[in-house]
Amino acid sequence: MKFACCKSTTGGATDSLTCTKCKLNYHIQCLQASGIKKDGKLEIRKHWICPECTLTVPRRGNNDNTPVRGVSNLSRSEEDISVDNNNVTLRRGGSSSMNMMLDFTCGTEHGESSIIELIRSVVSSEISILKDDFKKSMIPLQEELKSIREEFLGMKECFEFINSNFDNFNKRIENCEKDVQKLNKQFSELGEIRSSIATLKEENNVREQWARRSNVEIYGIPERKNENLLSILQNISEKTKCKLNPNTDIDFVTRVASKNKDVKKPKPIIVKFLCRWKKDDFLSQIRKLNLKCNDLGFSGNSNSVYFNDHLTSFNKGLLQSVKKIAKEKKYQFVWIKNCSIMVRRSSTSAVLHIGRESDLKKIV
């Protein structure tokens, strides 16, 4: 005997069912119909329809020829299998509420609409849960987006401010560029002015020193009230071989105030000769004597008296700089001759003439 449920050919009439429509044989064990015994009721065997044929049976009271739900097993009892002349409903073995609802509503007139409503309810509930979860997950993102939006608004305000003031910035930059050009021009002119001033200072110093070429400056002679400087000068000249006649050799004799008022030293005496060669002769003779104050009538005062060319303020400052550098560089000789500063490292080395500040570089 052939069976439609499996390839096995064993089994007889007592352990199989035959479909009343297609006449195909099925094992009761394959159908898992434990509620039907091998010697089951003949009423069930007479009207039993296989699952394939059940799908082609139209529902009761419905003219759309819709087939009933198929059955894959017969695991329920005899009471759960109902046979009708016009319709057969066989329940599946599931126990879920959905299956029970489907089984309950399949045989009613409004079964399909109830299933749709149930599906809609379930879907709506799931969508509502998804919405709630989505809203909860969006809260941190919304906070972050809020902060980004605030930063963006701040940047937008800055850009708007820059755009609104862009023309002003351009005008200011143009004005600054013009000012820079003017300043560069002024700096160039200032450099030329400085160069001109330096040249004028040098020329003025040369003229001023030339005007003093016949002057002798005497340091170290104490001051007295109502002193007679001509008599002091005559007393000095008597110590030398160079005799002076105040009427023919001297223009004037005076004391000059020192620029450094804090130094408590006697004011220097300036002697202006009418003849330059007479002044040079006087200096060469007087420097050989190395006079002191007590030699000139100032008893008890052994301070030395110095006789020098009358240098300008600039040349005096230059002389101090030369002495300082020469000491550092170990030069042996620094002196003044004809109002010119001279320096020499040793008695056998060359003589350097210093007339301006740039000449200080010669002392190496």
Q: Do 233 and 318 belong to one domain?
A: no
Is residue 315 in some structural domain? yes
Q: Do 277 and 325 belong to one domain?
A: no
Contact in structure between 348 and 222 (CB atoms under 8 Å):
no
Whole-number Å distance between alpha carbons of 184 and 176: 12
CA nearest neighbour of 296 among 206, 232, 209: 232
What's the pLDDT at 68?
46
Greater model confidence, 183 or 14: 183
Contact in structure between 250 and 239 (CB atoms under 8 Å):
no
Is residue 140 in some structural domain? no
User: Is pLDDT at 310 greater than 90 in this prediction?
Assistant: yes
Q: Do 253 and 296 belong to one domain?
A: yes
> pTM surpassing 0.75?
no
Q: Domain end: 267, 282, 310, which one?
A: 310
Angle (CA) 2-8-12 rounded to 5° is 60
What's the pLDDT at 79?
36
Is residue 113 in some structural domain? no
Q: Which residues pair with 16 in a beta bridge?
A: 27
What's the pLDDT at 210?
93
Q: Do 228 and 259 belong to one domain?
A: yes
What's the pLDDT at 241?
76
The string of DSSP codes covering 258-326 is: -S-TT---PPPEEEEESSHHHHHHHHHHHTTT--BGGGGT-TT---B-EEEE---HHHHHHHHHHHHHH
User: Is pLDDT at 155 greater than 60 in this prediction?
Assistant: yes
For residue range 101-150, what is the model confidence (pLDDT) as tens digits?
444 444 444 567 778 888 888 888 889 898 888 888 888 888 888 888 88
Whole-number Å distance between alpha carbons of 27 and 349: 142
Average pLDDT on 66-93 reads 40
Is residue 115 in some structural domain? no
Q: Do 281 and 291 belong to one domain?
A: yes
For residue range 223-244, what is the model confidence (pLDDT) as tens digits?
888 889 998 998 888 888 778 8
CA 59 from chain centre, in angstroms, equals 84
- HSE-up of 193 (CA within 13 Å, CB side)? 6
For residue range 264-287, what is the model confidence (pLDDT) as tens digits?
788 999 999 999 999 999 998 888
User: Is pLDDT at 12 greater than 70 in this prediction?
Assistant: no
Number of structural domains (the chain) is 3
Q: Do 226 and 245 belong to one domain?
A: yes
Whole-number Å distance between alpha carbons of 310 and 307: 9
Q: Do 298 and 362 belong to one domain?
A: no
Confidence category of residue 211, pLDDT binned at 50, 70, 90: very high
Average pLDDT on 60-74 reads 45
CA 88 from chain centre, in angstroms, equals 87
Q: Do 235 and 250 belong to one domain?
A: yes
Q: Do 220 and 303 belong to one domain?
A: yes
Average pLDDT on 334-346 reads 90
Is residue 114 in some structural domain? no
Contact in structure between 334 and 343 (CB atoms under 8 Å):
yes
Q: Domain end: 108, 130, 151, which one?
A: 108
Is residue 289 in some structural domain? yes
Domain that holds residue 73: 16-108
Please identify which residue in the block is written with the tokens 């003093």. 212
Q: Do 46 and 93 belong to one domain?
A: yes
Average pLDDT score, the chain: 79
User: In the chain, pLDDT over 90 holds for what percent of residues?
Assistant: 27
Q: Do 306 and 353 belong to one domain?
A: no
What's the pLDDT at 252?
92
Is residue 353 in some structural domain? yes
Greater model confidence, 192 or 74: 192
Q: Domain end: 80, 108, 136, which one?
A: 108
Contact in structure between 222 and 293 (CB atoms under 8 Å):
yes
Q: Do 218 and 270 belong to one domain?
A: yes
Is residue 169 in some structural domain? no
For residue 239, give the CATH number of its domain.
3.30.70.1820
